Structure 1
């Protein structure tokens, strides 16, 4: 892929202007440069970004180009930086930015410069999803509030199912031909949209999601400006480690990583006994500093009798999203003398990746024996270890 980024800095900031702010938000000073440059500084750290197109308001593109040139020299940017003039609507500004992309550009990130805190790991997750075959990918986070549709008379018309709702963010990633086609059709049909993913949806194409970041806020209201004057949320790395053991015996059919294993082996367990997913859940809880799986799902609670371990992992992932954890990698090891797992490894990896909502390239699955030693070597049981790495927003940054 040849990936460029379109950084939108063409907004008028009408809500902030109405509150008395004279400077457009994208030009507010932050960390020694205009706010729009913060996103460029983040993206330039992503090795696969090949260049930038900055989109400035009409009448300000010439000054914007001079500013970009000065900032690029100051920060020793080695990537090309082009400038386009914005239009009356956001989609017009994106259209003008697309027109500036070089012919060899295959994929593009479209980002609102008013979201200055999007992280490099978030961008990497979008690129990984495109590597996995998606032509349109956006970051999304679960909605915390109950959302209702309101009728014209102000009464509640419908309560929407919160579990199905997501708040969408930028940057949004697209294959260039798809986004160009979406823009052309929407212009032809005079469709107005609020983001580029909506355009792709409008022409009947699918849009994938990756977990967004709670700290990836958009500077919109006067209250949001506090994020620029106080310590901004900075994601920090975290590591969690998990370990689990189950003995063989008549109870539950053997399942590893959510995949049923052929044969007669069974494990003794209160839940479905998936040793790998139990270790994974503990590793996720380790990243969060939230104890272990036994604290959250006690093995003497009838509610968890024979429950699928994937459900338990999903419950932990809900906590992870609320705590603003972005999973970057999972390294998993199964330790057993029997069964042989080489033919299952890819299926286990793909299933765990789907469960974590990450690209399979960010999940590694290994299987080993203990050469006849210990209880696993004597075929009395099975164990697994899991290591999960992630990036997490400081506590309270999501508020």
Structure 2
């Protein structure tokens, strides 16, 4: 099975307190995007396409040499749509990964690919919800407790049969902005399977997240 990875890396670093795109922020001396690209390759992706801020192409070319770059859009959905245009029909599977999940183990990538190889049209890695989760009203008061048993936290990379993902994006409105690519294929009616995620695949969003990732790397 020929798999291509797409890394969504066009986001800003504002919440991380950075004056550069989040994907270029270093973790243990390597930019986040380089960690993501290396994970996809180690997990089985034959090629990786990175959606980047148009004004930062030179910086990304230096950060991930040998990787195909495309201009990302104003949203994650737009960036993935742009990256899909350069994925050829010879490709069997597409893995969509967040640059902000640098420590995702390659084993998670391999599990997603294995599920696709077994016939699933779409696959996401997930973790159980362990905290008590509640519903609140407009004033912030608790009105109900949500059962945790059926809840899952969704991670990346999310994997797709290439045709399923391409057709789902073709059916999606140009200005649509969904939270992830699993939502795109579900909107088109495709089922989404799950595999085990990993706590190390935590998302780097704020400075505390980056500090915790630094601690993990130093262990």
TM-score by length of 2: 0.91
Q: CA RMSD in A?
A: 1.9
Kindly indicate whether residue 121 of structure 2 is the aligned counterpart of residue 119 of structure 1: no
Matched-pair contact (CA < 8 Å) for 2:10–2:72: yes
- Alignment partners' CA distance in 2, 1:222 and 1:198: 28
- Give the alignment partner of residue 52 of structure 1, picking from 30, 48, 52: 48
1:6-85 map, 5 Å: 6-17=6-17, 21-46=18-43, 48-69=44-65, 72=66, 81-85=67-71
Structure 1 residue aligned with 2:186? 201
What is the SS of the residue equivalent to 1:49? coil
Per the TM alignment, residue 57 of structure 1 is displaced from its structure 2 partner at its CA by: 1.1
1:229 to 200, 204, 214: 214
Q: Distance in 1 between matches of 2:189 and 2:114?
A: 23
Which protein, 1 or 2, shows the higher relative CO under an 8 Å CA cutoff with sep ≥ 6?
2
3-state DSSP of counterpart to 1:148: strand
In 2, distance between residues paired with 1:163 and 1:65?
Answer: 44
Instruction: Tell me the CA shift for residue 95 of structure 1.
Output: 0.5
Q: For 2:109 and 2:147, how far apart are their aligned partners in 1?
A: 29
Residue deviations 1:298-318, cap 9 Å, x none? xxxxxxxxxxxxxxxxxxxxx
| Distance of aligned partners of 1:220 and 1:176 in 2 relative to their CA distance in 1, 3 Å threshold | same
Distance 1:159 1:94, change over 3 A: same
How many residues were matched structurally?
A: 219
Check conservation: 1:140, 1:169, Cα contact below 8 A. Answer: yes
- Name the counterpart of 1:390: none
Give ranges in structure 2 of 5+ residues lacking alignment.
Answer: none
Partner of 1:146: 132
Structure exhibiting the larger radius of gyration computed from Cα positions: 1
8 Å Cα contact 1:186-1:192 kept in structure 2: no
Provide the rounded CA distance (Å) in 2 between the counterparts of 1:98 and 1:230. 35
Q: Which moved more, 1:95-104 or 1:154-163?
A: 154-163
C-alpha separation in 2, matches of 1:173 and 1:163: 24
Q: How does 1:203-282 map to 2 (within 5 A)?
A: 203-232=188-217
Cα distance in 1 for partners of 2:94, 2:16 equals 29
TM-superposed deviation, 1:34 = 1.6
Quote the offset at 1:193 in angstroms.
Answer: 1.1
Alignment of 1:135-214 (within 5 A): 135-187=121-173, 190-214=175-199
For structure 1, the 5+ residue unaligned runs are 73-80, 235-399
Deviation string, structure 1 residues 318-362 (Cα, Å, up to 9, x no partner): xxxxxxxxxxxxxxxxxxxxxxxxxxxxxxxxxxxxxxxxxxxxx
Q: CA deviation at 1:119?
A: 0.8
Quote the offset at 1:224 in angstroms: 0.9
Match of 1:87 in 2: 73
**Could you tell me how far 1:156 is from its partner in structure 2?**
3.1
> CA offsets per residue over residues 171-218 of structure 1, 9 Å max, x none?
000011111222222225x54311001111222221000011011110
